[in-house]
Chain A
């Protein structure tokens, strides 16, 4: 045995000693170690965590993954579907990254459910840092922060695949919201498949790059998600809310909100329910000046009928 090897082993022993003394970790031989994760290939020996370790949190888990560069559509779907699933008592597992991950965590909290964030870095690091409010909220709401890396380990290119493996391994099913081709999200989905877990994917428009991954998954046999019901159904649970209605949303179909509107306002609502648009497109279709359209849109925004994001208008 070379000197290098001996040193390495020695270091390993030292590390093991220091680990023994630490709290807030679960070993693979502990009965508390999540059963589903243990069943996967090469599960991590030690899981570091923050929060109150309660094994019931692992009973019914759904992993939600998606692109960091989510679109408005991806955000809306995640908010609607995930909060409903969380409300049904399913734990939402995600990766604490900005984009779909953070939206999923927030939606789970919104739905009054528990959520687990699996970190790509040491347990003492909040990454990305500006999401520390969310970090705190997850812990306050009986959630968990999990990582296989100790203390201040920085995130790196190689830590993400390891994190993805834990994410896929913790849950009985994985929901993919938006994924570009050759993305990290797809790697997680692939891992979930390898672990023989169920895979759900949200369909998206063919024109969006971020739909290419999800549509490919559906083509390959992933279950298409049209409502939260399908996902909840897989867990033998009953949801106390009815499924979400299509694109127009629930509130906008309420007739009372749109009473006493002018002809122009009515036509704007009609256009926007079909597809969000910018002011130039709206004024061209309605055949009015940009000035008049601007006036109308501002007033409708004040009335709370519309909201604007990324230069486009949406019906509230």
Chain B
């Protein structure tokens, strides 16, 4: 007696179809065996399935049970084979038909209920792609799967419910998509821009960064407000578009970071890993490749505080995903692609002790220490950052009067400008395969950033005055494009370019 239960396995963001074949043999000792390169978690599925079936007051067959996970040469991992195996056994013992065009997916608890299982969204996507009508997933994971329209998602609570459905005793209704209540993204930021005293230039740089997706590098003494600024950034980021939302949710679903009953992620993620992170932690990897921080920050912000303290090898590994917007994790048996389009916000002290050029405190670092500290970030790495700013120490006494408070803008106010700028970019880049000004390559710059004669003249003078490299030259134009977008201007004017020059990188190895 053989029953075939279709399921699917996720590898990175890709899903492959897996057939779970369950055979009950009348002859032989009552043994339960799983073949098809199961990992430890899959092998232990035997005990979970056996106990769960018994605890659901269903008779467990005293027969020789052989489960084959086909194709048999791919290593199987994860706990989601519980449900297809159990479904196969139930169908055999109860002599009932399995519904056609369906996928089964989920982890069993010993009491017969189903647990939240990672990757339900990817399964639903796969089902739609392959034209499979129904998917059976645990109730806790059903909500994320319902994001995908056109697939009937059956939310299963326990084995008894499933069996009753198989026997035709009850009917199941496909789950409806329930939106998880989202607060406005503004309230997600820890600080409002309005709360930050002074730092006008830094706030403006944040706005440009959000407006065009540019990476930002801040240097400043401890206590100048670098971290606070970075934490306020989510409040001025534009909301995720539907497509972006799905991309983000996929990564989070694959790594099991969507909470039970969770749905589409609508807030841009902000990741702030500590500087002791390993390269695999940042980039992703492992034998069963998991997304790293760069992928979890996809379409959001990756904030690296104490940038110079990160191991150089870790920072260098960051370069390729920053450039390409995706990364490939290659292991001997698997290759997995993860997206990694994020805004990098890096912050660093000017020297190891942090008080170089501090108005009140004295720096105790020797010149050699400072040089060594700065050299920890390579030139090519800094080259990938469009905006460079110095964050000065703020004297709180200066801000006692209320007039200053009036001048400060709220995050919501800044956000409206950012949204307008992003809309302009979306229109501009339709069909180009890019989304923001920061992603522009030289051909895009030539196409979309035409400069007037006057602007060109000014920029050439600036190249001379500031000794700009060719790369910096294009960077200034890109940033100027964003400033013009924030201004609602189609043309890049002289003043846009002049402001963009403020954020140019400092010359490496300049005066300390």
Contacts and interface: CB of A to CB of B under 8 A. Distances in A.
Contacts of B461: 302
Contacts of A310: 357, 511
A276 B173 CA distance: 72
Given A284-B200, A304-B465, A311-B392, A294 B367 contact: no
B201 interface: yes
A277 to B, nearest CB: 10
Contact of A298 (B357, B362, B462): B462
Given A69-B363, A278-B392, A298-B499, A290 B465 contact: no
Interface centre among B200, B461, B465 (most CB of A within 10 A): B200
Contacts of B198: 280, 284
B428 interface: no
Interface in A263-316: 278-281, 283-284, 289-299, 301-302, 304, 309-311
A297 B200 contact: no
Contacts of B398: 284
Contacts of A68: 367
A180 B361 CA distance: 13
Contact of B511 (A290, A293, A309): A309
B465 A302 contact: yes
Contacts of A295: 495-496, 498-499, 502
Nearest to A283: B200
Contacts of B501: 298, 301-302
Contacts of A291: 204, 483, 499
A286 to B, nearest CB: 11
Q: Please list the 7 inter-chain residue pairs (A to B) with the smallest Cβ-Cβ separation, ordered nearest first.
A: A290-B200, A311-B390, A298-B498, A294-B502, A298-B501, A295-B498, A295-B495
A278 B496 CA distance: 20
Given A280-B198, A284-B200, A294 B499 contact: yes
B15 interface: no
B466 A301 contact: yes
A294 B357 contact: no
A209 interface: yes
Contacts of B204: 289-291, 294
B199 interface: yes
Contacts of B483: 291
B503 to A, nearest CB: 8
A33 interface: no
B203 interface: yes
B458 to A, nearest CB: 7
B341 to A, nearest CB: 27
Interface centre among B199, B367, B398 (most CB of A within 10 A): B367
A284 B392 CA distance: 14
A219 B362 CA distance: 23
B357 A311 contact: yes
Interface in B382-422: 390, 392, 398, 404
Given A69-B363, A301-B465, A290 B201 contact: yes
A294 B494 CA distance: 12
A68 B365 CA distance: 11
Given A294-B499, A302-B501, 6 more contacts: A69-B362, A209-B362, A290-B201, A292-B495, A298-B502, A302-B498
Contact of A279 (B201, B404, B494, B498): B201
A98 interface: yes
B418 to A, nearest CB: 14
Nearest to A300: B498
A125 B496 CA distance: 51
A290 B201 CA distance: 5
A233 B502 CA distance: 45
Given A294-B499, A294-B502, A295-B499, A280 B462 contact: no
A275 B511 CA distance: 20
Interface string B170-210: 00000000000000000000000000001111011000000
Contacts of B498: 294-296, 298-299, 302
A69 B355 CA distance: 12
27 contacts: A128-B367, A180-B362, A280-B201, A283-B201, A284-B200, A284-B404, A289-B200, A290-B203, A290-B204, A291-B204, A291-B483, A291-B499, A293-B200, A294-B499, A294-B502, A295-B495, A295-B496, A296-B498, A298-B499, A299-B458, A299-B494, A302-B458, A302-B466, A302-B501, A310-B511, A311-B357, A311-B390
A302 B462 CA distance: 6
A237 to B, nearest CB: 33
